[in-house]
């Protein structure tokens, strides 16, 4: 049987090919780094990576031209799927003990807690992206507590600039 | 040292890792050295032993920038998929993965499917279907991750 492409796997589990590619790139790089660094340093690197990954992810989303409802839903799903891969990062290269360590750490380690809160925040923001302009404005403060007006503008730009901004002006 | 757009080269990564490991060792040893110096010096001199500044210098001037550099390197390696994400036409996405999965679940739950097959055949179908999906998924997994 011929080896299926990433897109085929993406279609099976509902993850986008781009997200898959991203996880495989980061995982390979981290595996290489694990061999070179001491465990505490590698853990520190994983913490930093986990803390900044989702903000980078959102940065890329906001750089897109427009995102539809289904697109936002796919991005949300990707964010959750990525979390599953990122959770394994601190344990790459630890061989057979990695599964046990991963099982023990889920829900307890600082890294997984940090990742979970980042995913939850990303999901809430992507929910806003999937809403209609008026609903997004209405729910902005509840979904994005520390969000600023500029962030609101970014979300509205993803819905198609002028019309969405007109809604913002009307609501405010 | 700045991270290039495509990430660091293999030997550069190795050099940064080497620096990082060495600085980490030195930082840890600095405090031990201070403790040791205190034990062998006279009380008057021991009071003036303070290597905290030196230890902090290892953290602030070597460890932190090196970790940041490696972090930039990891993100640089993700540059291509990230830019694909940016370029993708998300307005053209009509059905998300979740919707696709929901449809499969919906189909499995539909009574017509159960009606068309006899109870025994439907039972076998229900048991085989997820198992087949799982086997295919695991087979694909090895190629794609």
**Min distance A20 CA to chain B CA atoms (Å):** 8
| Residues B81/B8, Cβ–Cβ less than 8 Å | no
Whether A10 maps to a domain, the answer reads: yes
- Determine which of A5, A13, A92 to mutate to test the interface with B (most B C-beta atoms within 10 Å): A13
Contact across the interface for A19 and B70, Cβ inside 8 Å: no
Same domain, A149 and A120: no
Same domain, A143 and A170: yes
Same domain, A102 and A140: no
Higher per-residue confidence, A37 vs B105: A37
Whether A30 maps to a domain, the answer reads: yes
Whether A1 maps to a domain, the answer reads: no
Could you give the number of structural domains in chain A? 2
Same domain, A39 and A71: yes
**Min distance B103 CA to chain A CA atoms (Å):** 12
Whether A13 maps to a domain, the answer reads: yes
Residues of A in contact with B86 (CB under 8 A): 60, 63-64
Same domain, A54 and A88: yes
Contact across the interface for A52 and B89, Cβ inside 8 Å: no
Same domain, A37 and A106: yes
If you write DSSP's letter for every residue of B53-67 in order, what string do you get?
HHHHHIIIIIIHHHH
Over the stretch A125-166, which tens digit does the pLDDT of each residue have? 999 888 888 788 888 888 888 888 888 888 888 877 665 666
What is residue B22's predicted lDDT score, i.e. its pLDDT? 93
Domain of A14, in residue numbers? 6-130
Closest by Cβ to A41, choosing from B13, B20, B100: B20
Length of chain B: 145
Same domain, A100 and A142: no
b/e code B108-140 from CB counts within 10 Å (16+ = b): eeeeeebeeeeeeeeeeeeeeeeeeeeeeeeeb
Over the stretch A12-71, which tens digit does the pLDDT of each residue have? 344 565 666 666 677 778 878 888 888 888 888 888 888 898 999 999 899 988 888 888
Predicted confidence (pLDDT) at residue B143 exceeds the cutoff of 50: no
ipTM for the predicted complex comes to 0.73
Model confidence, pTM: 0.71
Contact across the interface for B86 and A52, Cβ inside 8 Å: no
Helix, strand, coil fractions of chain A, as percent rounded to 5: 80, 0, 20
Task: Return the minimum-mean-pLDDT range out of A63-77, A81-95, B9-23, B61-75.
Answer: A81-95
Same domain, A141 and A88: no
Confidence of residue B138 (pLDDT cuts 50, 70, 90): low
Q: Which two tokens stand for residue B84?
A: 């694909």
Residue percentage of chain A with pLDDT more than 70: 69
Same domain, A112 and A136: no
Same domain, A23 and A72: yes
Same domain, A75 and A126: yes
What is residue A3's predicted lDDT score, i.e. its pLDDT? 38
Predicted confidence (pLDDT) at residue B44 exceeds the cutoff of 80: yes
Predicted confidence (pLDDT) at residue B19 exceeds the cutoff of 90: yes
DSSP state of A148: -
Contact across the interface for B136 and A26, Cβ inside 8 Å: no
Over the stretch A106-132, which tens digit does the pLDDT of each residue have? 545 788 888 889 999 999 999 988 888
Same domain, A77 and A120: yes
Higher per-residue confidence, B66 vs A11: B66
Over the stretch B81-95, which tens digit does the pLDDT of each residue have? 888 888 888 888 877
Contact across the interface for A13 and B84, Cβ inside 8 Å: no
What is residue B96's predicted lDDT score, i.e. its pLDDT? 67
Domain ranges of chain B: 10-86, 94-144
């Amino acid at each position: 049987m011929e080896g299926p492409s990433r897109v085929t796997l993406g279609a099976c589990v509902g993850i986008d090919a781009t997200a898959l590619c991203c996880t495989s790139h980061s995982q390979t790089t981290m595996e290489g780094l694990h061999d070179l660094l001491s465990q505490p340093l590698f853990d520190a690197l994983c913490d930093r990576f986990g803390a900044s990954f989702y903000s980078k992810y959102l940065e890329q989303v906001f750089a897109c031209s427009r995102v539809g409802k289904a697109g936002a839903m796919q991005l949300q799903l990707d964010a959750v799927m990525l979390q599953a891969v990122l959770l394994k990062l601190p344990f790459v290269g630890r061989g057979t003990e990695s599964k046990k360590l991963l099982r023990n750490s889920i829900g307890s380690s600082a890294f997984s807690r940090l990742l979970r809160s980042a995913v939850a925040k990303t999901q809430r923001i992507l929910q806003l992206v999937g809403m209609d302009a008026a609903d997004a404005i209405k729910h902005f403060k509840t979904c994005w507590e520390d969000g600023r007006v500029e962030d609101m503008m970014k979300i509205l730009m993803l819905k198609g600039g002028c019309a969405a901004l007109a809604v913002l002006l009307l609501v405010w | 040292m700045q991270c290039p757009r495509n990430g660091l080269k293999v030997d550069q990564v190795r050099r940064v890792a080497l620096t990082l490991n060495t600085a980490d060792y030195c930082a840890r040893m600095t405090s031990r050295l201070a403790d040791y110096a205190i034990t062998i010096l006279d009380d008057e001199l021991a009071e003036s032993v303070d290597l905290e500044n030196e230890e902090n210098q290892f953290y602030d001037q070597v460890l932190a920038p090196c970790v940041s550099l490696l972090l930039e390197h990891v993100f640089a390696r993700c540059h291509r998929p990230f830019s694909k994400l940016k370029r993708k036409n998300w307005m053209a996405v009509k059905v998300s993965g979740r919707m696709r999965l929901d449809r499969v679940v919906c189909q499995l739950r539909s009574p017509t499917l159960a009606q068309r097959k006899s109870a025994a055949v439907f039972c076998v179908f229900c048991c085989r279907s997820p198992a087949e999906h799982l086997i295919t998924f695991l087979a694909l997994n090895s190629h794609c991750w």
